[in-house]
Amino acid sequence: MAMTSRPGKSGPNRPGFARPNSGQLGDVPVRQVTVLGSTGSVGTQTIDLLLGATPGRFKVRALVAGRNAKLLAQQAVALRAEWAVVADPAAFAELRDALAGTGISCAAGPAAVLEAAAMDADWTMAAITGAAGLASTLAAIRRGKAVALANKEALVCAGEVMLRAVAEAGAVLLPVDSEHNAIFQSMADGNHDAIERIVLTASGGPFRTASREDMARATVEAALRHPIWSMGAKISIDSATMMNKGLELIEAARLFSLHETQIDVLVHPQSVIHSMVCYHDGSVMAQLGSPDMRIPIAHTLAWPERMATSAPRLDLTAIARLDFEAPDPIRFPALRLARDALKAGGGTPAILNAANEVAVESFLQRKIGFLDIVETVERVLEALGTPNAATLDDVVALDEAARRSARTFATARAA
């Protein structure tokens, strides 16, 4: 049961100003927004953009966090949010006390998270990471408005379920990942049938030039030391294994209705070209920019318009050179696993993601080695096969089974 504190008439059901129509948000005098995962990496950068936006352009309906009640309360007060929700019931008392006298409603627990996600906002940032964000992302989609998708696992684990909900609700998915946002921008003319292939770029992570032997000895600290991007721990490790690019490959196939053979991955260590679209007339459209997540977040927040940001401006003369190389399938087998999971379809991508989340957590807890992460994922995939996943319940069941299996393999490896 959700714990709530609601002064006044604030709540999740006040109507919004606009409904997307044929991919447009329309001329909305004030865009009402909700941020799911406001205290995470993407969430805090979204909050910074909202704080720096033209006064009166955005109205915050709800902010949702995991357990960081202190930061959530600070964000809610700064943005004059209507609602603040913390997923962990144990953090409710701290949140309630911090918001006392502010007029901001607060709540806690899984049911409250879903209620906040279902609020009638014009734009919702879905940035609750991992499989934990599936239900809330789906709740936001069912409102039939614009959902900025930063939780790639939503489409990886439950792609068919999510896309069916998008179609039924008439919602709009706006990709936030820098790679998918770059593809989205490069497809601005809407000529999907002319696409020959797309290219997702990858920095290569901290072990781009490391040997397998060095990677086998890699410490948690070394794996977290991303050369370009500042990210959370989980996605930093995914970047080091290149599993993040595998998950992005699956997401891209579903977002843009492309076959696996139409998606390439290219290592680009400068991380200036964020992705490319190759058309069958030989044209290549690419989106460039500084490696700063505020740029793709701002693109979705203001879409179909644009808004100013304080992100560093790209200076190609200072960069001087752009390098490209093919990913090494021997040192980075995660890409092969992701491609195989996409081709297998059904619930296989959900198994891939769940096993990876458990394996990454085991590595961060120093229970297994760096190379054991992908090896654990592969063993779970072999053990569970290629089951169907037609509903969210199916996905949740497979997620739980994959996590149990991954913990078993990780424990055995640690022993």
Residue 163 pLDDT > 60, yes or no?
A: yes
Residue 324 pLDDT > 70, yes or no?
A: yes
Residue 243 pLDDT > 80, yes or no?
A: yes
Weakest mean pLDDT among 5-9, 159-163, 257-261, 295-299: 5-9
Per-residue pLDDT at 14: 23
Going across the sheet that includes 105-108, the strands are 3-5, 105-108, 83-86, 58-65, 31-36, 123-126, 146-149, 172-175
Overall average pLDDT of the 18-46 stretch: 75
Per-residue pLDDT at 171: 95
Partner residues linked to 286 by β-bridges: 276
Is 205:239 a contact under the CB 8 Å cutoff?
A: yes
Between 130 and 376, the more confident residue is: 376
Residue 53 pLDDT > 70, yes or no?
A: yes
Overall average pLDDT of the 17-45 stretch: 72
| Burial zone of 233 (CB within 10 Å; 0-12 exposed, 13-18 middle, 19+ buried) | middle
Give per-residue pLDDT as tens, 4-28: 555 443 333 222 222 333 344 555 5
Overall average pLDDT of the 42-55 stretch: 95
User: How many CA atoms within 13 Å lie on the side-chain side of 397?
Assistant: 10
Q: How confident is the model at residue 3 (pLDDT cuts 50, 70, 90)?
A: low
Per-residue pLDDT at 129: 81
Overall average pLDDT of the 254-261 stretch: 94
Overall average pLDDT of the 321-331 stretch: 95
Per-residue pLDDT at 25: 53
Weakest mean pLDDT among 5-9, 369-373, 395-399: 5-9
Percent of the chain beyond pLDDT 90?
A: 83
**DSSP reduced 3-state for 339:** helix
Please give the distance of CA 278 from its chain centroid, rounded to a whole number.
24
Terminal-to-terminal C-alpha distance of the chain? 39
Per-residue pLDDT at 27: 58
Domain assignments of the chain as residue spans, ordered by start: 12-175
Residue 332 pLDDT > 70, yes or no?
A: yes
Per-residue pLDDT at 141: 96
Enter the CATH code of domain 12-175. Answer: 3.40.50.720
Overall average pLDDT of the 273-300 stretch: 95
Q: Would you state the torsion angle of the CA atoms of residues 184, 392, 164, 42, taken in this order, to the nearest 10 degrees? A: -20
Phi, psi of 279, rounded to the nearest 5 degrees? -100, 160
Is 46:35 a contact under the CB 8 Å cutoff?
A: yes
What are the residues whose beta carbons fall under 8 Å from the beta carbon of 248, sequence distance 6 or more?
152, 177, 179, 180, 200
| Burial zone of 211 (CB within 10 Å; 0-12 exposed, 13-18 middle, 19+ buried) | exposed
CA–CA separation, 42 and 272 (whole Å): 19
DSSP state of 275: E
Mean pLDDT (the chain) is: 90
Per-residue pLDDT at 4: 59
Percent of the chain beyond pLDDT 70?
A: 93
Is 157:350 a contact under the CB 8 Å cutoff?
A: yes
Pairing state between β 3-5 and 284-288: unpaired
Distances (CA, A) of 137 to 131, 147, 342: 10, 8, 21
Weakest mean pLDDT among 15-19, 72-76, 191-195, 202-206: 15-19
Residue 2 pLDDT > 60, yes or no?
A: no
